[in-house]
């Protein structure tokens, strides 16, 4: 493998929110003393990348921006203070690219909640380019020989759903409902949930998604485009309501419904981030059922290591379609239309 680093590279960059996604030559970044320079070979495309392009969250994005935060590649260089990495190691670019490491949240390993968090593909140019920089402490360690295109989605989607499922505090045999079950996060949540010992009910739309759900080991599927009463159907299928719900759809209405089909003493986990959404929960219902509603935001370094380990042990597979990075704009169109089944991964070489 050559470690010669070019001066320019191909990347997708936008200069304003909703502006053209330009596939072009851009400079190769120089790593800071604490950073790795990673030759990104593949990157997953997360719905968060679409939010970043739209600029629809109350958190400003860096502009111009190179998006992407599921980058898998090889270390080709590093800053002077980096420890524990060598050229040639496999490394992953995650959403959390760095944090202050001294605030209370960082001290408690809740680094994603750090007020100074630096975010790949949002406040820091991300993985939709051939060479990207990543904080050496936060970059994910990918075992040698791992399949880089398949591991890419684990770096955000996998870690996020793994942590979210843990946040539901379920027991083996409990029902886990996944709203948005066959998108990028959901298709991994089915498998982590199953591997962790839960019964999986999925909600999403269309025959192709139902087929994927069954293929990945899901037990009961509800098509939200057909079903007249999702709340009643979940309660019936689970004999009283899901013990835990992972909301990974990008729908305020779906989130509200989940507060009604969760079982008494169960937990609704909020993960998906529809723009401007409010989680409406009827107070009487929530009190008498004593349910919990919790947010879950990616995962920490231990969650990342554990989520990767599930993948490496073959318990979780990435249902991916690979296209060239130059096709990113059309991937965003398909994602906006809810047409993506599983995850799209871009190959940065074309
Ligand atoms: O750390 C976090 N909390 C985190 C991490 C990563 C991503 C949060 N996210 C957020 C993203 O920003 C996005 O808002 O999670 C959401 C889902 O990301 P994704 O899985 O990457 O999106 P996708 O692949 O487009 O899948 C969404 C699925 O939801 C279904 C769609 O059909 C699609 O399969 N869906 C929708 I939109 N409305 C639905 C509804 N009403 C629905 N499924 C069921 N009911
Ligand atoms: Zn993501
Ligand atoms: Zn901090």
Q: Ligand 1 within 6 A of 179 CB?
A: yes
pLDDT above 60: residue 222: yes
Q: Ligand 1 within 6 A of 245 CB?
A: no
Mutational pocket test of ligand 1: of 95, 122, 168, 185, the residue with most ligand atoms within 8 Å of the beta carbon: 185
Q: Ligand 1 within 6 A of 269 CB?
A: no
pLDDT digits (tens, 9 = 90+) for 54-91: 999 999 999 999 999 999 999 999 999 999 999 999 99
Ligand nearest to the CA of 337: 1
Q: If you measure from the C-alpha of residue 236 to the centroid of ligand 2, how many angstroms do you get, rounded to a whole number?
A: 33
Which structure tokens are listed for 224? Answer: 């939200």
Angle between helices 47-54 and 328-336 (to 10 degrees): 100
pLDDT above 90: residue 3: no
Residue 154: partners with Cβ closer than 8 Å, 6 or more residues away: 70, 92, 188, 307, 308, 311, 316, 318
- Other residues' Cβ atoms within 10 Å of the Cβ of residue 315: 13
Which structure tokens are listed for 317? Answer: 């597979």
* Stretch (H or E) spanning 26: strand 22-27
Q: How far apart are CA 164 and CA 334, in angstroms?
A: 26
- 147 near 318, Cβ under 8 Å? no
Assess whether the previous peptide bond of 64 is cis (omega < 30° from 0).
yes
pLDDT digits (tens, 9 = 90+) for 226-278: 999 999 999 999 999 999 999 999 999 999 999 999 999 999 999 999 999 99
Rounded average pLDDT over 324-330: 98
3-class DSSP assignment, residue 295: strand
Look at ligand 1, atom 37, and give the residue with the nearest C-alpha.
250
pLDDT above 50: residue 1: no
Domain annotation for the chain: domains and CATH numbers: 8-153+299-347 (3.90.180.10), 159-295 (3.40.50.720)
pLDDT above 70: residue 176: yes
Q: How far apart are CA 196 and CA 167, in angstroms?
A: 13
Q: So what's the pLDDT on residue 4? A: 86
pLDDT above 70: residue 144: yes
pLDDT digits (tens, 9 = 90+) for 164-174: 999 999 999 99
For residue 48, give the ligand 1 atom closest to its CA.
12
Q: How far apart are CA 261 and CA 259, in angstroms?
A: 6
pLDDT band at 178 (very low <50, low <70, confident <90, very high): very high
């Amino acid at each position: 493998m050559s470690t010669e680093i070019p001066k320019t590279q191909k990347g997708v960059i936008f200069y304003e929110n909703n502006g053209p996604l330009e596939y072009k030559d851009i400079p190769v970044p120089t790593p800071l003393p604490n950073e790795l320079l990673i030759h990104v070979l593949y990157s997953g495309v997360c719905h968060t990348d679409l939010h970043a392009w739209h600029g629809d969250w109350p958190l400003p994005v860096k502009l111009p921006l190179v998006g992407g935060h599921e980058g898998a590649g090889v270390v080709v260089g590093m800053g002077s203070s980096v420890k524990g990495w060598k050229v040639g190691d496999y490394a992953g670019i995650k959403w959390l690219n760095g944090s202050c490491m001294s605030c209370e949240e960082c001290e408690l390993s809740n680094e994603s909640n750090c007020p100074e968090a630096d975010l790949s593909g949002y406040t820091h140019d991300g993985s939709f380019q051939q060479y990207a920089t990543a904080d050496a402490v936060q970059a994910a360690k990918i075992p040698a020989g791992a399949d880089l295109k398949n591991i890419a989605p684990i770096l955000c989607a996998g870690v996020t759903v793994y942590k979210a499922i843990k946040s539901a505090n379920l027991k083996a045999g409990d029902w886990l409902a996944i709203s948005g079950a066959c998108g990028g996060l959901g298709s991994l949540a089915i498998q982590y949930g199953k591997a962790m010992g839960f019964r999986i009910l999925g909600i999403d739309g269309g025959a192709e998604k139902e087929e994927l759900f069954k293929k990945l080991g899901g037990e009961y599927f509800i098509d939200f485009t057909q079903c007249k009463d999702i709340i009643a159907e979940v309660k019936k299928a689970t004999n009283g309501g899901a013990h835990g719900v992972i909301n990974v759809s990008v729908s305020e209405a779906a989130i509200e419904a989940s507060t009604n089909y969760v079982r008494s003493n169960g937990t609704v986990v909020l993960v998906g981030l529809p723009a401007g959404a409010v989680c409406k929960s009827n107070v009487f219902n929530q009190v008498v059922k004593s349910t919990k509603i919790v947010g879950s935001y990616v995962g920490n370094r231990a969650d990342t290591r554990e989520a990767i380990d599930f993948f490496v042990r073959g318990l979780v597979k990435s249902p991916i379609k690979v296209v060239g990075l130059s096709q990113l704009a059309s991937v965003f169109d398909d994602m906006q239309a809810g047409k993506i089944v599983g995850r799209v991964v871009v190959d940065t070489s074309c």
